[in-house]
Amino acid sequence: IDPITGDYSGTTTVASGNLMVGSNLTYVDAASILTLSNTLEANVPSLLLQNTHDSAASGPQMTLAKTPNGDDDDQLGIIKFNGRDDGGAAQTYATIEGYIGDASAGAEEGKLILSVASHDGEAQPGLTLASGDAEDKVNVTIGNEATSLTTISGVIVAPSRKYELPSSTVGDYKGGDVY
């Protein structure tokens, strides 16, 4: 299946109207792909996961699951944002990826990466969240290289923390200041 056009050379069933399923919908196909497409109007197709249960602890869920026993650095799932460039070539412009950081039973760690196409179409991580080296610690990496620009609008609140800025900091920084 073409990830942009949805072209598929296998069997296709076309239906119009609504498909109502009482409880579970299982889709089994050699290609393992369920495609929703529409060329008639903007902002469709769309996917709505709706929970009508009246409870604060209840909400819709979407789960990407890899069921075999895991190994460190296994990719668990990816959400791709695909389109075409102005020359008509297929391009992935952004991704959200989930990984197993550490698969050790009792010491499980995860990793989440948000990437974007960076100047030449190559995907680069812009935000990475990964388990730290201690219980409940999460490390965050913003940007991809030292030349990446990170903009923070508003105020940074970091209770009980001191930050030393390097001498190459641009702005109101005065060498030796500790903020």
**Contact, 10 vs 30, CB < 8 A?**
yes
The 10 Å CB-count burial string (b at 16+, else e) for 127-161 is ebebbeeeeeeeeeeeeeeeeeeeeeeeeeeeeee
Is the pLDDT at 67 greater than 60? The verdict is yes
What residues have CB less than 8 Å from 73, skipping those under 6 apart?
99, 100, 101
Lowest mean pLDDT among 45-54, 112-121, 133-142: 45-54
Determine the average pLDDT of the residues in 62-76. Answer: 92
Of 74, 68, 2, 65, residue with least CA distance to 33: 2
Q: Which tokens hold the place of 84?
A: 């075409």
Give me the percent of the chain exceeding a pLDDT of 70: 72
Give me the percent of the chain exceeding a pLDDT of 90: 41
Of all helices (H) and strands (E), which one includes residue 47? none
Is the pLDDT at 31 greater than 70? The verdict is no
If one compares 3 and 96, the residue with the highest pLDDT of the two is 96
Distance of CA 44 to the CA centre of its chain: 21
Of 85, 90, 134, residue with least CA distance to 109: 134
Determine the average pLDDT of the residues in 41-57. Answer: 80
Is the pLDDT at 85 greater than 90? The verdict is yes
